[in-house]
C-alpha cells in the first residue's frame, strides 16, 4: 500500500486519536476532504452513519474501507472511553455481515491456513487467552464465582447491534434461542450471560428480570467467559464473540445467527450460510481471526504489532485491573513512595494510606479493599485483613537506587510470603514450581527476554557508571557485597552473614582464584551499612555496572544477592552461601542449604519466566500504563525512568548525611 494515501472520513468516530494513528501506521492519511482518484473512503462497519461515506464514495467512484474493532479490543468497551488495540480494515465487507463475503470470510474460505508455524502461534495465542482470561473486553475477574457446572449457557447481546441484523437475526431470534435452550435441556439450569455494555448500563440487552425463573438466572457480573464456557454443558448464541471463544475452548456452540465463525464445521448452525462449505480446524479459525485479518497496535512502542504483543499488553493491563479494582489500603509505606505506589496501584481506585497496622487492617476489611504492606514492615496486626499483599521492589527496578529515592518501574506483590524470605513459602516459589508446565512458546519468550537483557546490559539498578577497569588474569570469582542489615541477610543467611565472612570463605575455598569484590550500590553511596577492608579482595570494583563485570568473570559467590540471579541469566556458575529465591532449584551450587520444599527442577528459561514475567508488575514511564517486562527492559536501556523530582533528590542527600542513624527511619527491608 502506498504510504500516505488519502482516506476520507465523514463520521465523528474517526476523531479518535488511536483510531487515526492505527490507520496512519497502516499507510493512510486520514482527512475529511472530498475524495479524488486514488483515494478511498472509510466508514465504521454498518453503523447508522455509514451511509454518508457510502454516498460520497459512490459519487466519486472510489473504494470503501469498512473499519471494525478486532477481537481483542481493549480492557473496557469503547463506549466507556477506551481506545482499541486492533482493527479489522475490510475492503470487501464486514466480518459480521453474512450478506456478502468479507476479507475475513475469504481468508477462512480460501487461504491455505496450513503453515505449521502460524498454526502453532494460533494455538499458543488461544492458550494464552484462556490462561489469562482475555476476551474482547478483558475487564473480567476470574476469581468471581460462576454457577456450578452442568448449566446451559445462553449469550445475550446489545439490542439493535448491527451484528444481529446483518447476521441474519432479529430480536425474535433471541426468544427462539432461549426457548430452544430450555426445551432441549429440560433438566438443566439456564444461565444467561449479559453483554458487558448492558452490565455497565451503556446499552440494553434482550433479556431481563422477566426472563428469570426457578431454573433461569442472569449473570451480569464481570466473570471470565472462559470459566463460564468451561462449566457449560452447551452454549447457545446468536452472533456473539463468546461463540467464537467457545469454539476455541473446544466446544460446539448452537448458533442462531450467521457470525463469521459459523459454517465451517465447528458449530451447530440454525441458519447455515450456503457458500461456506470449507471445513476448518479450531487452529485455522484462530489463525485467520487473530493473526491474519486484524491490524494490531502496540501502545507502548506506538507501532503496528503482532497478536503476541497485544497479549503481552493486555495480560499486564488485566492483571492490574483485577488486583486493583476493589482498591487498596496501603500501610508501612515511607512518604516518598506514596506517589509511585499511587501511580502503580491506585489507577482504578485511589490508595488510602493508613500507618497504624490495626487500623489499616480494619479499614481494608470495612471497605472491601486489599491491604498493601511493604514487606519489611509487616506487623502481626496487618494479618487481620481479609486480603494482604506484601510489596517489594522488582528485579528490574530502575535507573538509579531506591536509596536515592528513584521510583521503581517494577514492584512485586505476594499473598503468601515474600521472595527473599526462605523461612516460609512465597507466591514466587509457587510460580517457579508451576513453571514446569510452561509451553515451548512460553520458554521461547523467556529466551528472547534473556537475550534482550544481555544485549542491552540491563540489570536491577542500571547506574550507567564507568567502564570496567582492566582485571587481573586468572579464574575470576565475583563476590557481590550486600547491605548487612537487609532482611534477605537476616532471613536467608546462616553461617555466613557478613561481607567480610563471605570474602573469607571464598578465599579459603578458592586460594588460587582472582577474587573481585563489588560493593552494594547503597553501601558504596554511604546510605547503608556493609563496608569492608580495602585489601579483602584482589580487586574492589567501585562505581561499575554489574553487566560488564558479569561478562568478564567465571563464577559468582554470594549470600543472597540478586546479582546471583543476573549471573545465572548470563550463563555464569553461581555458588550460594545463603538461600536466595533462585537457590534450591538445581541451577546453583547451594552451600548454604535450601528449603526442602523447593523440589522442582526448572530450566533457566522457566525460572526467568516465573521471576521476571509472572511475578512482578511493571509500569511504563512513557504511557503510564501497566506493561510487560519487555517494555520495561527497553525503557531501562534507553534511560527512560519514572520521575523522582527535585524534592526527593534533596531528601536522598539528607538521608545519606544521616546514614549512620539509618535505624531511625528504616526497619528491615523497606526500600
b/e burial code for range 410-448 (CB count within 10 A of at least 16 → b): bbbbbeebbbbbbeebbbbbbbbbebeebeebbbebbee
Decide if 235 is inside a domain.
yes
Spatial separation of the C-alpha atoms in residues 297 and 21, rounded to whole Å? 9
- The model carries a pTM of 0.92
Could you tell me which residues come within 8 angstroms of residue 501 by beta carbon, excluding any fewer than 6 positions away?
A: 495
Predicted pLDDT at 652: 45
pLDDT confidence tier of residue 523, bands split at 50, 70 and 90: confident
Least confident interval from 227-236, 321-330, 483-492: 483-492
Helix axes 629-638, 440-456, angle to 10 degrees: 10
pLDDT score for 359: 98
- Is-contact 244 229, C-beta < 8 A? no
> CB under 8 Å to 662, separation ≥6 — which residues?
485, 527, 528, 529, 655
List the CATH number of the domain containing 218: 3.40.50
Assign residue 10 a region: left if phi > 0, alpha if psi is -120 to 50, beta otherwise? alpha
Asked if 613 and 629 count as a contact pair (C-beta separation under 8 A), the reply is: yes
Q: Say how far apart CA 315 and CA 124 lie, in whole Å.
A: 14
H or E element, residue 558: strand 555-558
| Secondary structure E strands in 439-511 | 476-480
Per-residue pLDDT, averaged over 126-148, amounts to 97
Q: Give residue 665's pLDDT.
A: 39
The set of cell numbers assigned to 449 is 527476554
**All three cell numbers of 650:** 534533596
**Residue 186 vs residue 643, higher pLDDT:** 186
The whole-number average pLDDT for the span 597-619 is 98
Residue 47 has pLDDT above 80, yes or no: yes
Q: Region 65-91: what's the mean pLDDT?
A: 96
Instruction: Report the pLDDT value the prediction gives residue 185, as an integer from 0 to 100.
Output: 97
In a domain, 519, yes or no: yes
Question: What is the predicted pLDDT for the residue at 293?
Answer: 98
Task: Give the Cα-Cα-Cα angle 459, 463, 469 (nearest 5 degrees).
Answer: 95
> Does residue 62 lie in a domain region?
no
Q: With bands split at pLDDT 50, 70 and 90, how would you rate the model's confidence at 492? A: very high
Per-residue pLDDT for 530 more than 70? Answer: no
Q: Name which of 432, 379, 487, 456 is nearest 609 in CA terms.
A: 432
Task: Map grid coordinates 507502548 to a residue.
Answer: 300
pLDDT of residue 134: 98
pLDDT at 1 over 50: no
Q: Is residue 391 part of a domain?
A: no
Q: Is 474 left (phi over 0), alpha (psi -120 to 50) or beta?
A: left
Among candidate residues 242, 264, 281, the one where a domain is terminated: 281
Q: Which of 228, 257, 281 is the last residue of a domain?
A: 281
pLDDT (mean) for 623-644: 88
What band does 656 get if pLDDT is binned at 50, 70 and 90?
Answer: very low
Q: How far apart are CA 171 and CA 35, in angstroms?
A: 38
Q: Flag whether pLDDT at 605 surpasses 50.
A: yes
Closest CA to 483 of 543, 410, 560: 560
Sequence-ordered list of residues with C-beta below 8 angstroms from that of 587, at least 6 positions apart, any chain: 568, 574, 602, 604, 607
Q: Is the pLDDT of residue 670 over 50?
A: no
**pLDDT class of 100 with cuts at 50, 70, 90:** very high
Question: CB–CB of 323/413 below 8 Å?
Answer: yes
The C-alpha cell that represents 135 in the structure block: 476476551
- Residue 622 half-sphere exposure, CB side, CA atoms within 13 Å? 15
pLDDT at 404 over 80: no
Tens-place pLDDT, residues 315-363: 999 999 999 999 999 999 999 899 999 999 999 999 999 999 999 999 9
pLDDT value of residue 642: 61
Residues contacting residue 104 through CB under 8 Å, at least 6 positions apart: 88, 90, 95, 260, 288, 289, 293
| Whether the Cβ atoms of residue 344 and residue 101 lie closer than 8 Å to each other | no
Which H/E stretch holds residue 313? helix 307-324
Question: Has residue 303 been placed in a domain?
Answer: no
Alpha-carbon distance of 83 to 74, in angstroms, equals: 7
Q: Quick check: 594 pLDDT over 70?
A: yes
The mean pLDDT of the chain is 92
- What percent of the chain lies above the pLDDT cut of 90? 85
Res. 41: pLDDT tops 80:
yes
% of the chain residues with pLDDT over 70: 92
User: Per-residue confidence at 654, pLDDT binned at 50, 70, 90?
Assistant: very low
Query: Is residue 184 in some structural domain?
Result: yes
On whether residue 597 sits in a domain, the answer given is yes
Q: Tell me, what's the pLDDT at 395?
A: 95
Each residue of 538-554: pLDDT tens digit?
999 988 888 999 999 99
Describe the strand order of the beta sheet including 216-219 as a list of residue ranges. Answer: 216-219, 190-193, 151-155, 232-237, 254-255, 268-269
Domain containing residue 159: 140-281
The Cα–Cα gap between 325 and 318 comes to 10
Of 248, 281, 314, which marks where a domain is finished?
281
Number of compact structural domains in the chain:
2
Q: Is 42 helix (H, G, I), strand (E, B) or coil?
A: strand
264 touches 280 (CB < 8 A): yes
Amino acid at each position: 500500500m502506498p504510504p500516505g494515501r488519502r482516506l476520507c472520513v465523514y463520521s465523528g468516530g474517526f476523531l479518535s486519536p488511536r483510531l487515526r494513528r492505527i490507520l496512519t501506521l497502516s499507510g493512510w492519511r486520514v482527512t475529511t476532504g472530498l475524495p479524488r482518484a486514488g483515494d478511498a473512503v472509510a466508514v465504521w462497519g454498518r453503523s447508522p452513519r455509514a451511509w454518508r461515506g457510502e454516498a460520497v464514495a459512490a459519487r466519486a467512484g472510489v473504494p470503501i474501507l469498512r473499519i471494525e474493532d478486532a477481537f481483542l479490543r481493549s480492557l473496557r468497551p469503547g463506549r466507556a472511553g477506551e481506545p482499541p488495540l486492533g482493527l479489522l480494515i475490510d475492503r470487501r465487507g464486514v466480518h459480521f455481515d453474512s450478506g456478502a463475503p468479507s476479507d475475513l470470510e475469504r481468508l477462512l474460505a480460501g487461504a491455505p491456513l496450513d503453515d505449521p508455524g502460524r498454526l502453532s502461534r494460533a494455538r499458543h495465542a488461544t492458550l494464552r487467552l484462556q490462561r489469562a482470561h482475555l476476551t474482547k473486553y478483558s475487564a473480567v475477574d476470574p476469581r468471581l464465582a460462576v454457577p456450578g457446572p452442568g448449566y446451559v449457557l445462553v449469550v445475550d447481546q446489545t439490542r439493535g447491534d448491527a451484528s444481529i441484523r446483518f447476521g441474519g437475526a432479529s430480536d425474535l431470534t433471541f426468544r427462539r434461542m432461549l426457548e430452544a435452550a430450555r426445551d432441549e435441556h429440560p433438566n438443566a439450569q439456564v444461565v444467561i450471560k449479559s453483554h458487558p455494555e448492558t452490565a455497565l448500563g451503556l446499552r440494553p440487552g434482550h433479556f431481563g428480570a422477566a426472563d428469570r425463573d426457578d431454573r433461569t438466572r442472569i449473570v451480569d457480573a464481570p466473570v471470565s467467559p472462559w470459566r463460564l464456557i468451561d462449566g457449560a454443558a452447551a452454549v447457545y448464541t446468536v452472533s456473539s464473540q463468546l461463540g467464537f471463544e467457545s469454539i476455541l475452548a473446544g466446544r460446539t456452540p448452537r448458533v442462531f445467527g450467521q457470525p463469521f465463525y459459523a459454517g465451517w464445521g465447528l458449530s451447530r448452525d440454525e441458519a447455515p450460510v450456503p457458500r461456506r462449505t470449507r471445513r476448518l480446524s479450531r487452529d485455522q479459525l484462530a489463525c485467520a481471526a487473530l493473526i491474519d485479518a486484524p491490524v494490531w497496535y502496540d501502545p507502548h512502542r506506538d507501532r503496528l504489532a503482532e497478536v503476541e504483543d497485544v497479549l503481552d499488553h493486555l495480560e499486564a493491563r488485566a492483571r492490574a485491573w483485577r488486583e486493583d479494582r476493589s482498591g487498596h489500603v496501603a500501610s508501612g509505606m515511607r512518604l516518598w513512595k506514596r506517589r509511585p505506589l499511587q501511580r502503580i496501584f491506585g489507577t482504578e481506585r485511589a490508595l488510602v494510606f493508613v500507618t497504624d497496622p490495626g487500623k489499616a487492617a480494619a479499614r481494608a476489611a470495612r471497605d472491601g479493599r486489599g491491604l498493601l504492606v511493604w514487606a519489611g514492615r509487616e506487623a502481626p496486626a496487618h494479618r487481620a485483613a481479609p486480603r494482604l499483599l506484601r510489596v517489594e521492589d522488582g528485579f528490574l527496578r530502575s535507573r538509579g537506587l531506591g536509596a536515592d529515592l528513584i521510583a521503581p518501574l517494577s514492584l512485586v506483590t505476594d499473598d503468601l510470603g515474600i521472595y527473599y524470605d526462605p523461612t516460609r513459602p512465597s507466591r514466587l516459589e509457587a510460580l517457579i514450581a508451576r513453571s514446569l508446565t510452561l509451553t515451548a512458546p512460553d520458554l521461547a519468550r523467556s529466551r528472547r527476554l534473556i537475550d534482550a537483557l544481555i544485549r542491552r546490559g540491563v540489570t536491577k539498578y542500571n547506574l550507567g557508571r564507568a567502564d570496567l577497569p582492566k582485571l587481573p588474569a586468572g579464574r575470576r570469582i565475583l563476590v557481590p557485597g550486600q547491605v548487612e542489615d537487609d532482611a534477605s541477610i537476616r532471613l536467608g543467611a546462616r553461617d555466613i552473614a557478613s561481607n567480610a565472612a563471605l570474602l573469607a570463605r571464598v578465599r579459603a575455598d578458592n586460594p588460587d582464584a582472582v577474587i573481585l569484590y563489588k560493593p552494594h550500590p547503597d553501601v558504596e553511596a554511604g546510605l547503608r551499612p556493609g563496608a569492608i577492608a580495602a585489601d579483602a579482595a584482589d580487586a574492589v570494583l567501585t562505581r561499575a555496572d554489574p553487566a560488564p563485570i558479569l561478562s568478564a568473570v567465571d563464577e559468582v559467590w554470594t549470600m543472597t544477592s540478586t546479582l546471583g540471579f543476573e549471573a545465572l541469566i548470563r550463563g555464569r556458575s553461581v555458588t550460594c552461601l545463603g538461600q536466595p529465591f533462585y537457590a534450591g532449584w538445581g541451577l546453583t551450587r547451594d552451600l548454604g542449604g535450601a528449603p526442602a520444599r523447593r523440589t522442582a527442577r526448572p530450566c533457566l528459561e522457566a525460572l526467568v519466566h516465573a521471576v521476571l514475567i509472572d511475578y512482578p508488575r511493571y509500569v511504563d514511564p512513557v504511557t503510564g500504563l501497566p506493561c510487560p517486562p519487555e517494555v520495561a527492559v527497553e525503557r531501562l536501556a534507553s534511560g527512560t525512568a519514572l520521575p523522582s523530582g527535585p524534592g526527593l533528590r534533596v531528601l536522598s542527600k539528607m538521608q545519606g548525611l544521616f546514614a549512620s542513624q539509618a535505624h531511625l527511619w528504616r526497619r528491615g527491608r523497606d526500600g
